[in-house]
Chain A
């Protein structure tokens, strides 16, 4: 049964007044993720915007235990938490590794691949704001084609993004889901489902970032919805290898069609001045990916 925003738990684990930017997509996602974890979890966080959200010593804005870890080490650190807790006979606690796209697709991919191959028993969450936002918006391998960043400042990125969930699928992990904080109930349900599974579970959350993508802070939810409605982001899950579209992506697939990619990128400063060729290529890439999802669904 799908949860509605009206019956999400009221208890909050993310306190107001944290240090994220106004309109932060991550802070919306994190709020619902913590509700789903119900406090009985330990989270390993590498260098990322989430480090900033958690606050500076000696105060914190989060009511679950957190260990800050080295940038490349998220999945290995989560494996260590799992191993340590198991050795001490404490298997009731959910272990979560929680990194950004740079910490997942780039510097953290080796440790993540290792942990997933071992089937280490934790939930890995990648929040994907599509660049190194915490260090000032440098290009990552999750930055989409055509987006300008601090290290692709003139021409924009010339390559497509790396499809991380597909890489995780190749590891045969027990559960993979994509999500977006614009659809909090869908995200909450996927977290709840992930919690019931064993082994490595991977959740990929697209988190719109107003300062990095350059759009007004009031438009975060709208931007996430447009990402899904244009097919730049697709909501799905894979349970033991079985693929299923969910939420808005499923309804678009069943009863509508994708909006043009232009509707999404024209609202973001990072795509300003994108070449006609790159825009066309981006649309072709979205269409091809979407066709692939429809075929699998």
Chain B
């Protein structure tokens, strides 16, 4: 335990992310300004220029180039970091696929912001959710301490399973809001997260051709061994991501042993033991839902919160177990899969298909483009949903919370 003699600072989520990257001893940073992410990279450029962090900081001309720099820096064996938001993440989309397909252990801080058009710089989670199929692990932090801790954890996860990790946190609500954050000791971080040792690097002494054209079917190499086709490589990526929940849980547990706090691994819960009514969300909204659960308890409802920490891989089994005793689960999505419903809601329903005791699931779309979400709105939604279940047999359509149409 390293609880003693650690420093506690009152800082924003963006400062926590920058300190997390610094303490992870990132060697290459490339980023492009975008609100509300910019203070992360401003902080890191200051660390580099002040000599507090020995790293190459590449001031690229776009987000596409930011991730391109990280990809090749990682290919030669450097630990690389970038951060972005919204349209910046969308601009990286091609390279998100590339980084995952090339199995590079990058870490990206995604400061969640609404997608244009129309322009909106405030928070929702449409940016990251829209990239869920790019092959990245996605962690959603609930407060500033978890941002710092998750970035350090993310490198350990990524470098174990060779899958890049996106650490997501809500723009403004966390990125620009100060709260106390305990800063771990560097020597503890160094012990927890040793130097990156890549399994393959590009080096003239052992020339290789990486990411070259790969056909659909396996093919013989020059000495007659059968090598994977494109489809086998894709299977291996899926296998790595589906199988990495054990690593994520183990890394979080080891983090807890080293630093005295952990974050629940894949999911976390609040007053869930006897809960019949579950509020589910990812990020800061799930923290807010704990206040709603307390109020619902005060009104006599057995309410609890299921926080989704890791969205990819989707923790199906954890969610089946966590919801098995509940009658009703309300999923609050800060994004939407247009033409369907909220992505977390959709994925939860899909996971529960295998469950023997499926609760009713109601989806709510909320907080888009920074629309404020009040605790009262969450509790009222819960009571509306309870009434619906009691009085109606048909399925409840997705409801847009506080949408004034």
Q: Which residues of A contact B (CB under 8 A)?
A: 39-42, 44, 51-52, 54-60, 62-70, 72-73, 75-81, 83-88, 90, 93, 110-111, 113-114, 117-118, 120
Contacts and interface: CB of A to CB of B under 8 A. Distances in A.
Interface string B51-74: 000111011111011101111111
Interface stretch (B135-143, B208-216, B277-285): B208-216
Interface residues of B, number: 47
A66 B207 CA distance: 7
B77 to A, nearest CB: 6
Contacts of A78: 72
B88 to A, nearest CB: 14
B339 interface: no
B68 A70 contact: yes
B331 interface: no
A56 B212 contact: yes
A116 to B, nearest CB: 10
Given A55-B212, A58-B227, A76-B65, A83 B204 contact: no
B231 interface: no
B204 A80 contact: no
29 contacts: A58-B220, A58-B227, A60-B209, A60-B212, A65-B202, A68-B210, A69-B71, A70-B95, A72-B64, A73-B64, A76-B68, A77-B71, A79-B60, A79-B65, A80-B68, A80-B80, A84-B56, A84-B72, A84-B73, A84-B74, A84-B75, A87-B27, A87-B54, A87-B73, A87-B78, A88-B78, A113-B61, A114-B60, A120-B58
Contact of B215 (A56, A65, A68): A56
Contacts of A72: 64, 94
Contacts of B59: 118
Contacts of B202: 42, 65-67, 81
Given A54-B212, A70-B94, A84 B77 contact: yes
B221 A59 contact: yes
A87 B56 contact: yes
A81 B73 contact: yes
A85 B73 CA distance: 7
B244 interface: no
A80 B69 contact: yes
Q: Which residue of B30, B66, B69, B74 has the most chain A CB atoms within 10 A of its CB atom? A: B69
Contacts of A65: 202-204, 206-210
A51 B213 contact: yes
A57 B65 CA distance: 26
B8 to A, nearest CB: 31
B76 A85 contact: yes
A76 B60 CA distance: 8
Contacts of B76: 42, 81, 84-85, 88, 90
Interface string B19-39: 000000001101000000000
Given A58-B221, A79-B58, A111 B207 contact: no
A73 B30 CA distance: 14
A44 B204 contact: no
B297 interface: no
Contacts of B64: 70, 72-73, 76, 111
B222 interface: yes
B95 A84 contact: no
Nearest to A66: B209
Interface string B71-102: 11111111010000000000000110010000
B219 interface: yes
Contact of A80 (B61, B72, B209, B213): B72
Contacts of A59: 221-222
A281 B1 CA distance: 79
Interface in B205-256: 206-215, 219-222, 227
Contacts of B28: 80, 83-84, 87
B59 to A, nearest CB: 7
Contact of A84 (B78, B206, B214, B222): B78
Given A65-B208, A118-B59, 5 more contacts: A55-B213, A60-B209, A65-B206, A83-B73, A88-B76
Contact of B75 (A57, A67, A90): A67
Nearest to B206: A65
A69 B220 CA distance: 24
B222 A114 contact: no
B203 to A, nearest CB: 6
Nearest to B204: A40
A96 B60 CA distance: 18
Nearest to B98: A70
A58 B68 CA distance: 24
Given A70-B94, A76-B68, A110-B62, A83 B213 contact: no
Given A42-B204, A54-B209, A118-B58, A83 B30 contact: yes
Nearest to B32: A114
Contacts of B207: 39, 62-66
Contacts of A111: 60-62, 64-65, 68
Q: Which residue of A51, A63, A88 has the most chain B CB atoms within 10 A of its CB atom? A: A88
Contact of A68 (B56, B209, B220): B209
A63 B203 CA distance: 11
B56 A69 contact: no
Given A64-B207, A93-B204, A80 B221 contact: no
A218 B71 CA distance: 40
B204 A57 contact: no
B389 to A, nearest CB: 49
A86 B78 CA distance: 9
Contacts of B66: 76
B387 to A, nearest CB: 52
A246 B202 CA distance: 35
A65 B71 CA distance: 16
Contact of A77 (B27, B72, B206): B72
A278 to B, nearest CB: 36
Contacts of B54: 87
